[in-house]
């Protein structure tokens, strides 16, 4: 099983978002297969529409873990993309639990495997990801592996939970997969 290196993230954000589908994320002893992602660059719905204290990581790095608090109670997991100076990040929206499910169930307070990582907030809760992981290099606490899984058809649509730039179809998911955020 090959480990995905930080250099993978230098390329175009939309390309990274698609290619991350089917990859395996490892953190806190748990693994899950990524089923749904979203691309964010410098578009009007992105944190990087303006460079701020929070969003500067999207401008200055690639292959870094970007975690932020949303709605005061949930976290969202992203990986920064593109070379220094060009902002980008891919939001991990959903995954299929592969190992460590008992721990995930306990952290989520839920039994159904489809309700453990089926949304960005849920996924962080299940995997124990919070702001301590922000700005860590990929490969330290958080790792990504490629086991050769064939994704097949990739579905796409507007990104979820935003009001701007709805014309951009930058939400990607494994078509037909039941472990996504929306059935």
- In the complex, which residues of this chain contact DNA (CB under 7 A)? 38, 40, 45-48, 50, 52-55, 58, 68-74, 76, 78, 89, 91, 108, 110, 115, 118-123, 159-163, 181
Minimum distance of DNA from residue 85's CB (angstroms): 17
Tokens (6 digits) for 176: 């037909």
Closer to DNA at the Cβ: 3 or 178? 178
Closer to DNA at the Cβ: 153 or 163? 163
Closer to DNA at the Cβ: 72 or 148? 72
Minimum distance of DNA from residue 120's CB (angstroms): 5
Closer to DNA at the Cβ: 58 or 168? 58
C-beta separation of 160 from 166 below 8 A? no
Minimum distance of DNA from residue 69's CB (angstroms): 5
Quick one: three-class SS letters along 64-127? Answer: EEEEEEECCCEEEEEEECCCCCCCCEEEEEEEEEEECHHHHHHHHCCCCHHHCCECHHHHHHHH
Of 155, 126, 138, 136, which Cα lies nearest the Cα of 38?
Answer: 155
Closer to DNA at the Cβ: 85 or 148? 85
Q: Chain centroid to CA 42: how far?
A: 17
Q: How far is CA 82 from CA 9, 13, 72, 164, in A?
A: 6, 7, 29, 22
Neighbours of 14 (CB within 10 A): 21
Minimum distance of DNA from residue 3's CB (angstroms): 23
Q: How far is CA 181 from CA 29, 53, 168, in A?
A: 23, 29, 19
Minimum distance of DNA from residue 175's CB (angstroms): 20
């Amino acid at each position: 099983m090959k480990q995905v290196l930080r250099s993978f993230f230098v390329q175009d954000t939309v390309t990274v978002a698609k290619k991350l589908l089917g990859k395996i994320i490892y953190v806190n002893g748990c693994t899950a297969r990524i089923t749904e992602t979203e691309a964010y660059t410098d578009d009007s719905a992105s944190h990087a529409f303006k460079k701020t204290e929070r969003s500067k990581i999207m401008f200055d790095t690639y292959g870094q873990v970007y975690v932020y608090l949303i709605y005061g109670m949930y976290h969202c997991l992203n990986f920064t993309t593109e070379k220094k100076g060009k902002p980008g990040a891919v939001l991990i929206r959903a995954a299929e639990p592969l190992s460590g499910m008992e721990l995930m169930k306990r952290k989520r307070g839920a039994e159904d495997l489809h309700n453990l990582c089926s949304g960005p907030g849920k996924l962080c809760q299940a995997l124990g990801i919070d702001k301590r992981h922000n700005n860590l290099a990929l490969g330290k606490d958080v790792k990504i592996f490629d086991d050769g899984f064939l994704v097949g058809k990739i579905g796409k649509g507007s990104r979820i939970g935003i009001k701007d730039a709805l014309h951009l179809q930058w939400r990607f998911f494994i078509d037909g997969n039941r472990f996504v955020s929306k059935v």
